[in-house]
Amino acid sequence: MEMDIIKIGNSKGIRIPHAVLRQCGIDSKVELVVEDNFIIIKPVRTPRQGWAEALELMHKNNDDILLISEEIDNETLEVWDEPNY
C-alpha cells in the first residue's frame, strides 16, 4: 500500500486506514521500532491488564482456592531435572 507523508505540526506522519489498524489489533498505543531502515509499528500489549481486579473479585467470592495440593512430592519434581525432559 503506497501512502503520502503528510505534515502534522512540526512533524510528519501517515494516515493509517481504520481497517488496517483493526486487522493489526491496534487500538490506541503503539510501539515504534526502527530496524534496518524500516519503520515497524506494533500494538502495545498489556496481557495482564485487569488481573488484579479479577483476582480481588475471585477472593471476595471465595473462588481462589488452590486446585493443586500445597504438598508436592519432591520425587516427582526431581524427574523434571532429568536430561530426557
Residue 6: which of 31, 30, 16 has the closest Cα? 16
CATH number of 6-43: 2.10.260
Helix (H, G, I), strand (E, B) or coil at 43: strand
| Higher-confidence position of 19 and 85 | 19
Where are the domains positioned within the chain? 6-43
Query: What percent helix, strand, coil does the chain show, rounded to 5?
Result: 25, 20, 50
Give mean pLDDT, residues 4-21: 96
Helix (H, G, I), strand (E, B) or coil at 37: coil
Q: Which pLDDT value is given to residue 85?
A: 56
Q: Which residue do the cell numbers 500500500 mark?
A: 1
What is the C-alpha separation between 40 and 18, in angstroms, rounded?
17
Dump pLDDT digits (tens) for 32-71: 999 999 999 999 988 888 889 999 999 999 988 877 777 7
Is the full-model pTM beyond 0.85? no
